[in-house]
């Protein structure tokens, strides 16, 4: 009797499950058209990037080394962009030049306290990437940002100081003409797709399709290979 009851319950559950109709929850992205029983679905845009091509197998090591640098610099560029946007909005509401200068000094001290320690931990490569990304996110080079907020004289001296570390605050970001910028943008685009980084709005003109068409997926890492080769030579000489 118990066995019969068990079989009955199982069979009843199976039949009941089989009678359920397949369904799909509809939202704004799904449009049901009755004519011809057609279901039209509006899907989100999906980016397809060309497969990365390296000239030599070891080049991949340099690419992933550089990827870490970009990942470290990008959040700082986003934060700097947001801080500058907030600063410019508030400055636009201040009529007095004297009060504007006073407010800029207050913000400058705040930013120095927020960024200085972390920026000092950056390597020269990370600093260079950061300057490029600040231009990408804000639409202005770091030199122009300083010139706008302080003065041309201050911007000149800031740039001179940066040159001591072989960095230029005047450098622009252009993935179409600069190989390092192309590498940065390639790393960002792939990180956005994989959701390793959040794609934030930027303020320069970028033609991603043209960028990849020009490079055909090929990644040139020669400059970093040369850099590490020189570093290894120096270490050998010291020994």
C-alpha closest to that of 67 among 185, 176, 228, 162: 185
Residue 148 is assigned to a structural domain of this protein: yes
Residue 237 is assigned to a structural domain of this protein: no
Residue 41 is assigned to a structural domain of this protein: no
Residue 34 is assigned to a structural domain of this protein: no
Residue 23 is assigned to a structural domain of this protein: no
Structural domain including 118 reads 53-231
Per-residue confidence band for 17, with pLDDT thresholds at 50, 70 and 90: very low
Residue 35 is assigned to a structural domain of this protein: no
- Tell me how crowded residue 53 is: count the other CB atoms within 10 A of its CB: 11
Residue 121 is assigned to a structural domain of this protein: yes
Per-residue confidence band for 133, with pLDDT thresholds at 50, 70 and 90: very high
Residue 218 dihedral angles phi and psi, to the nearest 5°: -80, 130
- Tell me how crowded residue 56 is: count the other CB atoms within 10 A of its CB: 11
pTM (two decimals) = 0.78
Q: Is 168 exposed, middle or buried (0-12, 13-18, 19+ CB in 10 A)?
A: middle
Query: Is residue 18 scored above 60 in pLDDT?
Result: no
Question: In which region does residue 36 sit, left (phi positive, over 0), alpha (psi from -120 to 50) or beta (all else)?
Answer: left
Task: Specify the number of domains making up the chain.
Answer: 1
Per-residue confidence band for 222, with pLDDT thresholds at 50, 70 and 90: very high
Instruction: Give the dihedral sign, CA 49/69/200/214.
Output: negative
Query: Is residue 167 scored above 80 in pLDDT?
Result: yes
Residue 61 is assigned to a structural domain of this protein: yes
Per-residue confidence band for 193, with pLDDT thresholds at 50, 70 and 90: very high
Per-residue confidence band for 20, with pLDDT thresholds at 50, 70 and 90: very low
Higher pLDDT among residues 74 and 164, named by residue? 74
Quote the CA–CA distance of 70 and 197 in Å, as a whole number: 10
């Amino acid at each position: 009797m118990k066995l019969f009851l068990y079989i009955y319950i199982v069979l009843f559950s199976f039949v009941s499950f089989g009678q359920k109709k397949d369904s799909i929850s509809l939202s704004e992205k799904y449009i049901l058209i009755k004519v011809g029983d057609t279901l039209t679905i509006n899907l989100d845009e999906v980016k397809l990037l060309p497969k990365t091509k390296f000239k030599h197998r070891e080049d991949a090591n340099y690419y992933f080394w550089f990827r870490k640098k970009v990942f470290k610099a990008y959040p700082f560029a986003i934060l700097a962009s947001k801080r500058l946007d907030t600063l410019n909005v508030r400055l636009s509401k201040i009529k007095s030049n004297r009060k504007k200068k006073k407010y800029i000094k207050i913000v400058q001290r705040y930013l120095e306290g927020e960024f200085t320690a972390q920026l000092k931990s950056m390597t020269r490569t990370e600093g260079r990437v950061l300057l490029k990304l600040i231009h990408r996110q804000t639409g202005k080079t770091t030199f122009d940002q300083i010139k706008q907020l302080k003065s041309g004289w201050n911007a000149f001296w800031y740039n001179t100081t940066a040159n001591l570390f072989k960095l230029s605050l005047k450098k622009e970001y252009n993935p179409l003409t600069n190989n390092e910028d192309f590498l940065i943008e390639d790393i960002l685009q792939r990180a956005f797709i994989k959701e390793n980084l959040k794609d934030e709005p930027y303020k320069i003109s970028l033609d991603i399709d043209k960028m990849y068409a020009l490079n055909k997926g090929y990644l040139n890492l020669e400059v970093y290979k040369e850099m590490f080769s020189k570093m290894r030579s120096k270490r050998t000489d010291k020994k």
